[in-house]
Amino acid sequence: MYTLTLYSDYDLETQIISDLYSYRDLKTGKRVVALAMRNQDAAILGMSGPECGDIIYFKEESYNVVHADSLTPKMDM
């Protein structure tokens, strides 16, 4: 059996990352994703390897409400 692949893995990951960066909040028009990268590129953050997803992403500060804010610490004063 043969499978037709329209994209290489690299091309597909590139398209997904581009789409993530294009995702905007409908109310504000602001971008929702702060950082997106391939698994192997996330090694610099210590987040690569088979235990991690193919694409690692972080949301902008105000969109990450379940655990904590994203890369920027929030200072309450």
- The domain in which residue 40 lies consists of 9-63
22 within some domain: yes
8-31 residue pLDDT tens:
888 899 999 999 999 999 999 999
35 within some domain: yes
2 within some domain: no
31-34 — which CB contacts under 8 Å span 24+ positions?
A: 31/60, 32/59, 32/60, 32/63, 33/57, 33/58, 33/59, 33/60, 34/58, 34/59, 34/60, 34/61, 34/70, 34/71
16 within some domain: yes
Maximum Cα–Cα distance across the chain: 62
Asked if residue 73 has pLDDT above 60, the reply is no
The number of domains in the chain is: 1
| Mean pLDDT in residue range 44-71 | 80
42 within some domain: yes
76 within some domain: no
